[in-house]
Structure 1
Amino acid sequence: MATTLRDAHGEALSTTDRTSLAAYDRALELFHGYRLDPLAVLMPALERDPGFVSGHLLMAGMVLGAFDGSLLGVAKASVDAAAAHASRANARETSLIGALGAWSGGDMLRGNQLLGRHLIDHPRDLFALQIAHASDLFLGHSFMLRDRVARSLARWSAEDEGYGYVLGMYAFGLEECNEYGRAEDIGRRAVELHPQDSWAVHAVAHVCEMQGRAADGIRWLKATQPDWATDCAMAVHNHWHLALAHMGAGELGAALTLYDSAVTPAPEAVALNLNDATALLWRLMLRGVDVSSRWQPLAARRAAQAAWGCNAFNDMHTVMTLAGAGDEVAAAAGIEAMAQARRYPGAHDWDVALQAAEGLQAFAEGRNARCVELLLPLIDASLPLGGSHAQRDLLHLTLIEAAGRAGDRALVRAMEDERAARKVPTRAVARTEEAIAA
């Protein structure tokens, strides 16, 4: 009888091919650290072993984790390839076929719900935990960013391979739930265990951003930069965080230099990279930096890569880019495409995204009072848009600038007072294993 092969975290795979297992484990390790290129590692194994169900599912999950609607067809093809060999799949793989099938079919919410059940049954499935965690972020499920990881955390120990990656996800979830002291402690511990864990690095960067600790954020990101700046899927996003830290320190020139050198889209950039580029240009524009020459090439790239109706967060950023470039016709067409997406069931709250996009378009067109009218109700109701608190903060910043231009000094004062109160730094407690386990 053939020996059941298991991945590096103990999950059974329906294959007897140790070469396939080795490729799977290597790709999985790269994926957990957001290193490049796990797809290139896995593809030869799938070509040689087309019945490798877990390999096809890993491929699908990694593609879905790019959150780029233009890639949904690629992910679905991988799920279909796994389903074609469902008769040899084990219970874990069968569960993942259902979850990733729903997501690749366009319903991220259903996929997320099925992954939630899957993780109750398979709490040490680190691959499933990572993609569920990522989908929680883009569905705006802030509490689940923390609590889904907490459900699995007790099943891991410091001796387990991959434990640091679990801590890195937990740190980000804690940060999004405003538990900044624990988030920073656990994020730093995760990086100690896995220095190349760029997700944990970014969790600590989020803490610094949300607490207004610009100098600490710059020091942290520069100290860890050798481990995430190259050959890393998080390189653009962490450079975006570094640019925000420089902006927080008043160093706008440094932020613009980072846009040109590390954030402006490369040929292989996916939608998430384009979002970071858009958001950084918009923030610089709000601060009075002339970025006009940079909007046009970014808008052309976004228009060519747009996949309207697949992801509300991405679509809002696409409208923002077109509006920033002054293409009122294309921005209006994008908003209409978002309005049409409301007709279809799926993961996103299109009403929130549509109102945000209309508000941003109004700002770009100089209709400041209308921008205030649209964005003010969203400031405390933007979670369904998805993304992090730091990413959605762009709406808050735009509202303040629009209010100032509209002459609403009372609103400017109120919003600035709110920000000042929210960003009072608190010192993290000492890093201890007790704090990590709490």
Structure 2
Amino acid sequence: MENGSFKVDKWGYGVKTHSDSCIAAINSYYDQVLGYGRERSVIMEAPKHDPCCVLGNILAAHYISSSDPSRAPPLLEAAKSNLENASLYEKSVFEAVNYLISPNRDDDLAVELHSQLLRDFPKDLASLKRAQVLCFYMARADLSLELVEKVLPANEEENYIYGMLAFPLLELGRYADAEKAAKKGFEINSADPWTQHALCHIYQYQCCFKEAVQFMEKCSSSWGSLSSFMYTHNWWHVALCYLEGHSSLERVREVYDLHIWKELERSDSTPAEVYLNAVALLLRVHIRDAIDVFEDRLKILANRLTDKSFWYLEWHLDVLTLWALACTGEVSKAEDLLEGLKARLSKMSKKKRGLMQRGLQLAEALFQYGKGDDKAALELLEPEFDAVNYKIIGASDEQADVFNEVWIILLLNNGHATRAIEAIEKQLKKREGAVFLWRLLERAHTMLGRKEATSIGEKARALQNTYFS
């Protein structure tokens, strides 16, 4: 262990600083990151307490680079100028984070640098989380799982580790393993929102919607300090369970009003994170021909999304925004957003451009779908469309699944009932208890004049009656 002017952070790794307050700010930041807290700005205190601390400066630079990039360079320079005297741990974190926030980075190399860091310093769960977030936006759950499995032996009873293990397992379809990991994490810390979130995913996969709602609502008392994203995302899951479980639409609307939209009233909310969950829910409602129950809420949301400051933050939000704008008549604004996405794609490296091409195709399709041009929307997507291949926009399986529903509806609306049946049956193999899919299957067989439509309708009603009353 280093001594003298070196102190140790919560992982037990050496940090060159004279300031206990600097270390306290760093440790608090770790907790905020791993617990999805809304006080992540605490890391900005670390350089104030010790302007020469490499770890404090580089973590602060990473934090601020996403919200106010102009403030990052002085922090980076402070970290670089003191690098010679830093600990090996700090130098490793600096190398990984400095590359992560550099323009035109190669994502694979960014993951490799984090992998090297975690090999040498496996207790650093904040760096693991940072790397897993990167893997999520690369749609590489396999890499995410490799990273967490690499450090698991050093963290077998640690808080947060099992939620971080459960999520990539979910994304890889290993639901039994994911459930085991999530339950272990819940035993260690029942208030860990990421573990709660993983368990909710499992309930939804099993189509146990009532149980999911009961579980999440019981957990919700611990959500008050969560970031805007995590708070509204957990409630988005609750609303989705009400919707998929054929609960009263008023319950879905109540969750939207009281636990998603209301988050915007908080002075410390992050609106873009709220809008992502809000528009994702309203698309599901719209697909189910129930948007009228939400009155003018979609119009209000779309009006907020005409603000260009919310564009180009996340591909997922941009794709959903295109639908919302087009659907509410803001076609010229949607066209501006789409042209901007095309311009950004053209400036990417060849490798990145190839990966994101599908994201642009999905964006164009959602724009056409929002306008009501189902034929054009269908033609933009691959003949054997599967949303799992479009997660590069930054969406989980559960978030991306709505695009499978859009695909099926486009097939039906264009008269391709047989192809729709094939697509529906593929999805039912994953989630046999999804009532909405059975309703779509009934519609497809009805279009073809098949007598099976009657029994399929009965199946849907029987399933519906097993959920919410």
Fold shared, TM-score > 0.5 on shorter chain? yes
1:330 to 326, 329, 333: 333
1:35-86 Cα offsets, whole Å, 9 max, x none, are 23132x333343232222212233344456xxxx554445555444433432
**What is the one-letter code of the residue matched to 1:214?**
F
1:179-205 Cα offsets, whole Å, 9 max, x none, are 111211211221221222111111111
**What is the one-letter code of the residue matched to 1:189?**
K
1:278 equivalent in structure 2: 279
Residues 72 and 106, structure 1, Cα contact 8 Å, conserved in 2: no
Answer yes or no: is 1:210 the counterpart of 2:209.
Answer: no
Q: How much does 1:345 deviate?
A: 3.1
Q: How much does 1:236 deviate?
A: 0.9
Gap change, CA 1:261 and 1:76, over 3 Å in 2: farther
Gap change, CA 1:288 and 1:334, over 3 Å in 2: same
Q: Secondary structure, in 3 states, of the residue corresponding to 2:163? A: helix
**What is the one-letter code of the residue matched to 1:312?**
W
* Higher RCO (C-alpha 8 Å, min separation 6): 1
Gap change, CA 1:182 and 1:37, over 3 Å in 2: same
Whole-Å Cα distance in 2 between the matches of residues 318 and 89 of structure 1?
Answer: 44
Residues 171 and 186, structure 1, Cα contact 8 Å, conserved in 2: yes
1:219 equivalent in structure 2: 214
Answer yes or no: is 1:101 the counterpart of 2:101.
Answer: no
**What is the one-letter code of the residue matched to 2:365?**
G
1:369 to 367, 375, 396: 375
1:22 equivalent in structure 2: 24
**What is the one-letter code of the residue matched to 2:320?**
H
Gap change, CA 1:106 and 1:191, over 3 Å in 2: farther
1:194 equivalent in structure 2: 189
1:7 equivalent in structure 2: 9
Residues 73 and 104, structure 1, Cα contact 8 Å, conserved in 2: no
Question: Normalized against structure 2, the TM-score is what?
Answer: 0.81
Gap change, CA 1:16 and 1:70, over 3 Å in 2: closer
1:35 equivalent in structure 2: 37
**What is the one-letter code of the residue matched to 1:381?**
N
Gap change, CA 1:269 and 1:325, over 3 Å in 2: farther
Residues 208 and 216, structure 1, Cα contact 8 Å, conserved in 2: yes
| Segment drifting more, 378-387 vs 146-155 | 378-387
2:119 equivalent in structure 1: 120
Residues 171 and 200, structure 1, Cα contact 8 Å, conserved in 2: yes
Question: Where in structure 2 are there 5+ consecutive unaligned residues?
Answer: 434-469
1:433 equivalent in structure 2: none
Gap change, CA 1:283 and 1:107, over 3 Å in 2: farther
Q: Secondary structure, in 3 states, of the residue corresponding to 1:381? A: helix
Residues 363 and 371, structure 1, Cα contact 8 Å, conserved in 2: yes
Counterpart mapping for 1:23-422 below 5 A: 23-39=25-41, 41-63=42-64, 70-74=67-71, 78-107=75-104, 109=107, 110-158=109-157, 163-233=158-228, 234-251=230-247, 252-264=249-261, 266=264, 268-289=269-290, 290=292, 291=294, 293-304=296-307, 306=309, 311-345=314-348, 349-377=355-383, 378-379=385-386, 381-422=389-430
Residues 58 and 98, structure 2, Cα contact 8 Å, conserved in 1: no
**What is the one-letter code of the residue matched to 2:145?**
R
**What is the one-letter code of the residue matched to 1:340?**
A
Gap change, CA 1:94 and 1:310, over 3 Å in 2: farther
Q: Secondary structure, in 3 states, of the residue corresponding to 2:155? A: coil
| Segment drifting more, 388-397 vs 222-231 | 222-231
**What is the one-letter code of the residue matched to 1:248?**
E
Residues 60 and 79, structure 1, Cα contact 8 Å, conserved in 2: yes
Aligned alpha-carbon RMSD (Å)? 2.5
Whole-Å Cα distance in 1 between the matches of residues 162 and 95 of structure 2?
Answer: 27
Whole-Å Cα distance in 2 between the matches of residues 404 and 229 of structure 1?
Answer: 42
2:436 equivalent in structure 1: none
Question: Normalized against structure 1, the TM-score is what?
Answer: 0.87
Residues 145 and 165, structure 2, Cα contact 8 Å, conserved in 1: yes
* Count of aligned residue pairs for this structure pair: 416
Larger Rg: 2
Residues 295 and 325, structure 1, Cα contact 8 Å, conserved in 2: yes
Whole-Å Cα distance in 1 between the matches of residues 224 and 422 of structure 2?
Answer: 38
Residues 243 and 258, structure 1, Cα contact 8 Å, conserved in 2: yes
Q: How much does 1:248 deviate?
A: 1.2
Q: How much does 1:141 deviate?
A: 0.8
Residues 51 and 85, structure 1, Cα contact 8 Å, conserved in 2: yes
Residues 311 and 318, structure 2, Cα contact 8 Å, conserved in 1: yes
Residues 272 and 310, structure 2, Cα contact 8 Å, conserved in 1: no
Whole-Å Cα distance in 2 between the matches of residues 236 and 78 of structure 1?
Answer: 31
Whole-Å Cα distance in 1 between the matches of residues 112 and 162 of structure 2?
Answer: 22
Whole-Å Cα distance in 2 between the matches of residues 282 and 75 of structure 1?
Answer: 36
Residues 72 and 105, structure 1, Cα contact 8 Å, conserved in 2: no
Whole-Å Cα distance in 1 between the matches of residues 314 and 219 of structure 2?
Answer: 31
Whole-Å Cα distance in 2 between the matches of residues 81 and 322 of structure 1?
Answer: 43
1:410-430 Cα offsets, whole Å, 9 max, x none, are 2332222122110148xxxxx
Gap change, CA 1:135 and 1:270, over 3 Å in 2: farther
Whole-Å Cα distance in 2 between the matches of residues 171 and 273 of structure 1?
Answer: 24
Gap change, CA 1:81 and 1:247, over 3 Å in 2: farther
**What is the one-letter code of the residue matched to 1:301?**
R
Residues 21 and 49, structure 2, Cα contact 8 Å, conserved in 1: no
Q: How much does 1:156 deviate?
A: 1.7
Whole-Å Cα distance in 2 between the matches of residues 356 and 280 of structure 1?
Answer: 18
Residues 141 and 171, structure 2, Cα contact 8 Å, conserved in 1: yes
Q: Secondary structure, in 3 states, of the residue corresponding to 1:288? A: coil
Whole-Å Cα distance in 2 between the matches of residues 367 and 180 of structure 1?
Answer: 37
**What is the one-letter code of the residue matched to 1:275?**
L
Residues 54 and 94, structure 2, Cα contact 8 Å, conserved in 1: no
Whole-Å Cα distance in 2 between the matches of residues 112 and 321 of structure 1?
Answer: 34
Whole-Å Cα distance in 2 between the matches of residues 77 and 173 of structure 1?
Answer: 35
**What is the one-letter code of the residue matched to 1:239?**
W
| Segment drifting more, 134-143 vs 102-111 | 102-111
Q: How much does 1:7 deviate?
A: 1.2
